[in-house]
Amino acid sequence: MKKQLSPNWLISKSWLRFLVIILLVIGVFFRFANLDKKIYWGDEVFSSLRISGYMHSEMNEQLSNGRLISREDLQKYQYPNPEKNTIDTIKGVILEDSQILPLYILMARFWVEWFGNSVAVTRSFSAFISLLTFPCIYWLCQELFESSLIGWIAIALVAVSPIHVVYAQEARAYSLSIVAILISSVALLRAMRLKTKVSWCIYAATLSLGFYTHLFFTLVAFAQGIYVIAIERLRLSKTSIYYLLSSLAGFITFVPWIWIIITNPQPEALTWANSKQTLFASAARWAGIFSRTFLDLGISPSDPGKLKIALIPFVLIILALIIYSIYVLCRRTSKKVWLFVLTLIGSLGLPLLVLDFVFQKRYATSRYTLPSVLGIQLAVAYLFTTKITSISAKIWQKKLWSLVAFMVIMGGVISCLLHSQARIWWNQLPEKYQQYPQMANIISQGNKPLLISEAENILPPIQILGYLVDPKVRFQLVEKNQLPEVINGFTDIFLFKPSDFLKAGIEKIYNSKLQQINDLLWKITKST
């Protein structure tokens, strides 16, 4: 590796640091900019319910009795309060969301208790955790490539990577998962290099951290095992023995939660993956997933086809860059280096790819392929470093690759700028939630508005609207096949996602007609 780098690059190290620091500042800014501007969508509402310590069934029972409730009454089930403690939070995760690992939920609960109840505060925990990605990926590059220059380039790529910024602003465990993957990777390479008991104990501890961060970390750990076995050539060496003992120790700490998942299964958690998908749609989906590593203009499935077609050349260029970077990595580095990057890319990417194309479903999402994203960024950081600083490269080649690196960085900056100004982004399912801000504005315009809905819509739709509407809006929630009591004094009465039974009943008891505003919202009007 060191032979391929120009000895003159050290002269411009201070200039490189200056550029990376600028990109770091930009990246930090975008991670914290407009944290409360975007819609607080379904997954985040579920996170907040878990943070509050209340259970879904408990919330439904207390809210769906037909009484008038305010926005504050809804948000009681979105933030910590004295009625529920940490034990209640753990209990809620165990009984209703066992597939969600508890580490993020507990840490986020403490964060919100310390800094206050708001969307910005809740999301700021993920943003803060994402800052740890910078030192972790630099340290990983030091262990893997033995090059600080590649570490600086990797930091620059991650700082303005749109996919990192998107998940740094979401109240979910993905930022913490990225950090756990990087820390465990560093710990593994360090333990293989030092071969000490302490270093292997540290690796075991990082495995435990990862296991309790995200369920799919188990596949990352499995890929790390394949890496160690391949490097040691199936020999029962000292490294292999220490690895097996460390992995066993880390896995044992996770056994209690495995038992919880088995005894409290949540099969409905993956119902979204049951939709069929053609091979072409799967290929387009995967191309979009990987291209968002460097360029993300917010295009979602609900956007017009013309926008997607216009994006094809950029996606193809990014995919070519990724493939070429992996090719260069495999050709110019030792097995220890390229095999680690490939196993990181394939840890989740390969299983999800097989499932998508074999079963023609949509298991793969950007949030599940984050380990692959990290591997790709390592490969691209290596490519840029070697091409720009290689002794054998001609001046025009260095300038060309410098331009390519600049364009990739600028693509990330532009993507982050667009994301910071958007009301809703592709990861928040705009095809499902795009109408919510508009509906909230319509409801809030009334002098004394009332929104009536059925209890099955409380989580997440009504809770999402609770973040968007004016505090003067009141809610009335009833059980399915039940009608609300008539309450006078409201100037504007709306129905949200009403069943046929509720629509017919409302028209009768209010002696009024219903005016459909959109697919989800109806308004009571006077009979003529």
Residue 174's closest CA among 108, 120, 92?
Answer: 108
Q: What stretches of 76-147 show up as alpha helix (H) in DSSP?
A: 86-96, 102-115, 119-130, 133-145
pLDDT given at position 398? 87
Please give the torsion angle defined by the CA atoms of residues 374, 378, 380 and 383, in that order, rounded to the nearest 10 degrees. Answer: -170
- pLDDT at position 8, please? 47
- Give 42-92 pLDDT, tens digit per residue: 999 999 999 999 999 999 999 998 899 999 999 999 999 899 999 999 999
Region 339-364: what's the mean pLDDT? 89
Alpha helices in 367-460 (DSSP H): 370-389, 395-421, 430-433, 436-444
- pLDDT for position 255: 97
Give dist(CA 206, CA 204) in Å, integer: 5
6 has pLDDT over 50: no
Average pLDDT of the segment spanning 388-407: 87
What's the rounded Cα separation, in Å, for the pair 250 and 119? 34
**pLDDT band for position 397 (cuts 50, 70, 90):** confident
User: Which stretches of 447-486 are assigned E, i.e. beta strand?
Assistant: 449-454, 474-478
Q: What are phi and psi of 474, to 5 degrees?
A: -115, 155
Q: What is the pLDDT of residues 436-463, one digit of tens each?
A: 999 999 999 989 999 999 999 999 999 9
Beta bridge partners of 369: none
Residues 6+ apart with CB under 8 A from 346: 223, 372, 375
- Predicted confidence at residue 422, as pLDDT, reads 95
DSSP β-bridge partners for residue 493: 450
Residue 321 has pLDDT above 80, yes or no: yes
Q: Which residues contact 347 (CB under 8 A, 6 or more apart)?
A: 219, 220, 222, 223, 224, 371, 372
List C-alpha distances in Å: 438 to 10, 62, 447. Answer: 55, 28, 17
pLDDT at position 269: 65
What crossing angle do the helices spanning 42-52 and 119-130 adopt, rounded to 10°?
A: 100
State how far the alpha carbon of 163 is from the alpha carbons of 78, 104, 355, in Å. 26, 19, 23
Contact 60, 458 (CB under 8 A): yes
Please report which confidence band the pLDDT of residue 11 belongs to, taking 50, 70 and 90 as the band edges.
very low
What lies within 8 Å, CB to CB, of 171 at 6+ separation is 40, 43, 44, 47, 48, 108, 122, 123, 125, 126
pLDDT in tens, 145-180: 999 999 999 999 999 999 999 999 999 999 999 999
24: CB partners within 8 A, 6+ apart? 134, 155, 159
Residue 305 has pLDDT above 80, yes or no: no
**How far apart (Å, rounded) are the C-alpha atoms in residues 469 and 484?**
21
pTM over cut 0.85: yes
pLDDT for residue 528: 53
Helix crossing, 370-389 with 279-291: angle to 10°? 60
Proportion of the chain above pLDDT 90, given as a percent = 79
pLDDT tens digits along 335-346: 999 999 999 999
pLDDT over 80 at 304, yes or no: no
Which of 441, 450, 445 is CA-nearest to residue 474? Answer: 450
Q: How far lies 112's CA from each of 19, 109, 175, 465, 506, in Å?
A: 34, 5, 17, 21, 40
Q: Which residue has the tokens 């310390």?
A: 114
Q: Does 12 score more than 80 pLDDT?
A: no
The per-residue pLDDT for 440 is: 97
